[in-house]
Structure formats: C-alpha cells, structure tokens
Structure 1
Amino acid sequence: MDKVIFKIGGSILDELPADFYQTIVFLKKSKQCDPVIVHGGGPAINKELSKSQVKSVFHDGLRVTTKEVLRIAEMVMSGSINKEIVKQVVQAGGVGFGLSGVDGSILKTVPYDPSGKLGFVGEVEEVEVGWLQLLIENGAIPVISPIGIGEDGQHYNVNGDVAAARVAAALGGTLVFISDIPGVLETKDENETLHSSLTNHEITTMIESGVIYGGMIPKVKSAIEALKAGVKETAIINGLNPTDITDFLSGKEVGTKITMGEVYHV
C-alpha cells in the first residue's frame, strides 16, 4: 500500500475533531494507505516556556533552541503531545505507536546551523525506515515526535514540517500537511483567495514578497524539498474538515497542492 505521511501542525492539535482520527484509522483498516503521523507542538511549547519563564525567539520560522528550550520542547512533544495523539488513534479503533526520532535513531540528525546561531536545531541527515516499516507491517500507525539524535547522542529540535518531509522521502510516500487553514491564502483587493496549486518558482516569489511568511515558510520549503527527494505528492489541507483527506487521496482538488511544474491555478 502507498504510505501517506500526515504532518499535524501544533496550532491545530487541540482543534482536530474525533472524526479526523477516525478517518486516519479507516484509511489503514480499509487498506487504502498506510498512514504515518508526524506532529509539531509549537503553541504547547510556547505555553510551557512562558510558564517556566524561558525566553524563546524564532529565525525564519525556526525556533532558536538553547539547552533549556530543548529540554522543554522534548518534554512537551515526545511526552504529552505524542501520547495524546496515540490515545486519539486508539480511541478511534486503531493501533497507535508513539515514538520520537531519538528512538532507534529514526531521525539521524546533524546541526542545522554549524555556526551555532540556532542552537540545538537539527537537520535530518538520514531516516532509519526499518523500524517504521516493522510497525507499519504489523498494523500500527506510527506517531513521530520530531526530536532527532546525533552520532554523539546529542538530541536536536527538528522542525516538524522538515521532519515530515524527510520521513515521506525516505518511505517514498505522499506528504500531507494538516493545518487549521484550507491552504496557502493570499489577500487580493480585500478578498482572501486560496491557491489550489503552487509551483516552486511561485513559492519563492511569494516568500520574497511576504505573502508567505513565518511558520508557512518551512512548510512550503519542506514540500518542495520532499518533491525533489522523490515524494509522490504533497499538499496543505484543512484538518478541521476530514473529508478533505479522502477527497485529496481520491484525486479531487482540495487545499493547496505543491508542485514542481509551472502551471498556475487559483
């Protein structure tokens, strides 16, 4: 079966309806695809950092990660968030298996910025797919927290979108970003327009003009890198409407599809 990697953004985790997880489990049980979940956790991390009075700043959508920020990020993502998603999968009738990129060195990671400016932010150099394949073949839905590990055992905070793209490329699957918005939006003449399809060139132009900014930057860049690495398809879809998932997988036009071509649609 085709593998579909679902990246769940931290901003939507608390809002996802039960039928989102029911849809994921249905896809697995009906053998339409093998789902894999990679999640973020930004808002929950922000809340815990604020509670602990730990300062945190961003650079181009990536969180500058000190040792203390890393400790909290790992606690929140690999702990509470990861296990909450597993619980939701189980309640939907599936077999959820929670793990982080540290487990089995699934996300083999190097520093994203060797200069140290971003701290312990990691770049995934290799994905150990053997353990994921084992889980998938035994009926489980892997739920991955984006914390990576270096050769020396150092843990790294990996952007969830980047981690999902690397996992999708390694598994040769389809990459779907689950968000709380229907896709890439642009305001024109006071009207909000959804881009149903964007190319690499258009994305670069929209980042330079500021139409795409903040956390959407690593999302669209990861989509392009995933396509370059061999991912079959990638799109940004509204998780608050789970039927969008089945519609997308059946070939219908929903969300924003990211492509390498030069055909532009609005």
Structure 2
Amino acid sequence: MSDIIVLKCGGSTIDELSDQFFANIRSLKQSGLKPIIVHGGGPAIKQMLGKLQIESEFVNGLRKTTEPVMDVVEMVLTGTVNNALIRKLNEAGIQSVGLSGSDYQLLTAKPKDFEQYGYVGEITDVNAEFLTQLLENGIVPVIAPIAIGVDNTTRYNINADTAAGAIAKAMSAKQLIFVTDVPGIMKKNKLIESVTEQEITKLISTGTIYGGMLPKVQAAIESLSEDLQEAMIVDGKHSEITPDAKLVGTVIKKSVEVVQ
C-alpha cells in the first residue's frame, strides 16, 4: 500500500489555512505518510491582473492564458503563493521545498486547445523519479501548477485540480485530498464520512450537494482511477485529525463494479 498522499490546496483557502492544519501535516508525516502539496492561486492572480490592468477571460471554467497573463500566473504562483506555503511549513517544523512544475521537467504539458485557451496545458508527463527522491529524503514538495512544453521553453498554466490528479496518479498515491473551506459533504448538518461515486449522484439529484461543493466533488470523482481508489475533502480552516493520524473529512471512494 502506498504511503504517499497528495494534498491540493485551493487558491481561495491558502490564506485561511490554520496553524492546526500545518501541525496535522507534521503529524501525518510523523506517522509515516509522505505528503506532496499542490496549490492553486486564482484570487491572487485575479488581484494582480487587475492591479497591472491586464485583461483576461474565462472559457469553459478555465482562464484563457495569453503571454502577459502567463507571466502574471507564473509570478504569483511560484513567487507569492508558493513562498507563503513554504514559510508556514517551515514554521511548523516541516522540511519542504517550493517548486514550479517547470523545474526539473516536473510537469510536462501540451496545449489543451491553443486557439480557445491560449497557454493552458494538459499534462503529458510527471517526473515521478525526482519527486520520489525528495520524499525519500523527508522533504515535502510544494508544487505550483505551471508546466513546461516538450520544447523545454513554452510554459503552460495547468488547472490545480488537474495537476494534483496527474501527480497522484503518477506517484500511485494512497489518497488525493482536496483542502477546502468546508468540513466535507454535509447532510442535515452532519458530516458524511464516506461516500461512493454512485451515492454522490443521488446526493446531487436530491440537492444535498449543491453550489460551491459541486466542482469540488466533481474534481474528486474525476481523479479516481484503478490506481487511485480514494479522494477526500477536508477543511483547511478548522483542520482535525483522528487518533490514528487521519484527517477528518469526507472520503469519496470508487464504486465497485458488481459482476452479475
């Protein structure tokens, strides 16, 4: 069983991650797990684009990335956001290193659809060997979702959920954890601790899952595969950990095919 977990921290929650959240990562690490952190940074990118008066638009939920937008995306993600996370991890006594996906060809990508999205990429390769070396040395990699093209010069903006899913798959991770601003999936004010893909479809149709939780749940389901059987949604603001060193939240499991 893999001991690697990938945590995806959404851009909107990074500033609000509690000290307890980082203490819990330290506890997970001490229990033998090997965390990898992938982060977004949408709000900070939006703010900087506004400050610099650079126009950008969203196409099908993805930020169309022109060259000036790409410069800002890279500057904000690899500079401001990544460094903020590294500082917090250092304060919690966790050895970590900040990386852009273009470092060491960590993430290689091709254009998703250049005409429609500009420099938005689809990951074609993950340098799992390099990440394994870091983990074996007790270092937590903190990855900004920027990728490099096969030409080794073109940079691509990668959706952070997609990047986290690709990294989890390449590393045969035990679990992909989406760190959000909610405790997990709630029903009648009670946390649903575990749910399958099929049960989620019912919860959506009955309106239990709605609004901002929908994209989180969909990203979790899309990350599931034969290699990755579980994803999880946890709260980064009010982070809790069980006595057996597991984060508290909702586990989303791959539905088992029943052979008649």
Taking structure 2 as the reference length, the TM-score comes to 0.85
Change (3 A) 1:213 1:110: farther
CA distance in 1, matches of 2:47, 2:244: 33
State the Cα distance separating 1:15 from its structure 2 match. Answer: 0.8
For residue 75 of structure 1, what is the amino acid of its counterpart?
M
1:238 corresponds in structure 2 to 235
Shift in Å, 1:25 = 1.9
Aligned-pair identity in percent equals 39
Residues 1-32 of structure 1, C-alpha deviation per residue, up to 9 Å, x if partnerless? 6011111111111111122112112322x233
Tell me if the contact between 1:61 and 1:214 (Cα under 8 Å) persists in the aligned partners. Answer: no
Give 1:158-177 correspondences, 5 Å limit: 158-173=158-173, 174-177=175-178
Per-residue Cα deviation, 1:71-108 (whole angstroms, up to 9, x for no partner): 10110001111111111111111111110110011111
Compare 95-104 and 19-28 and name the one that shifted more.
19-28
Residue equivalent to 2:4: 3
Match of 1:16 in 2: 17
Unaligned runs of 5+ in 2: none
Q: Distance in 1 between matches of 2:245 and 2:57?
A: 37
Structure 1 residues 256 and 61 mapped into 2: Cα distance closer, same or farther (>3 Å)? farther
User: Deviation of residue 230 (structure 1)?
Assistant: 1.1
2:149 is aligned with what amino acid? G
Report the count of equivalent residues: 252
Residues 169, 229 of structure 1: 8 Å contact kept: no
Letter in 1 for 2:227: G
Distance 2:134 2:82 in 1: 16
Query: TM-score if structure 1 supplies the norm length?
Result: 0.83
Change (3 A) 1:84 1:200: same
**Counterpart AA for 1:74:** E
Q: Could you say if the C-alpha distance between residues 203 and 56 of structure 1 is closer, same or farther in structure 2, counting changes exceeding 3 Å?
A: farther
Name the SS for the 2:122 alignment partner: strand
* One-letter amino acid matched to 2:177: V
Measured in 1, the distance between the counterparts of 2:201 and 2:58 equals 20
Q: What do the CA deviations read for 1:212-256 (whole angstroms, capped 9, x no partner)?
A: 567953x43432332115114201111112215x47964x8x433
Give 3-state SS (helix, strand or coil) of 1:257's partner.
strand
Aligned equivalent of 1:87: 87
Contact 1:146 1:160 (8 Å CA) reproduced: yes
CA deviation profile, 1:50-79 (whole Å, cap 9, x unmatched): 111112222333212111111101100011
- Unaligned runs of 5+ residues in structure 1 are none
Please tell me whether the aligned partners of residues 61 and 215 of structure 1 are also in contact (alpha carbons under 8 angstroms): no
RMSD of aligned residue pairs (Cα, Å): 2.8
Give CA deviations for 1:158-197 in whole Å, capped at 9, x if unaligned.
01111011111111111000001223468xxxx7786555
- Give the whole-Å Cα distance in 1 for the aligned partners of 2:243 and 2:232: 12
CA distance in 1, matches of 2:244, 2:40: 22
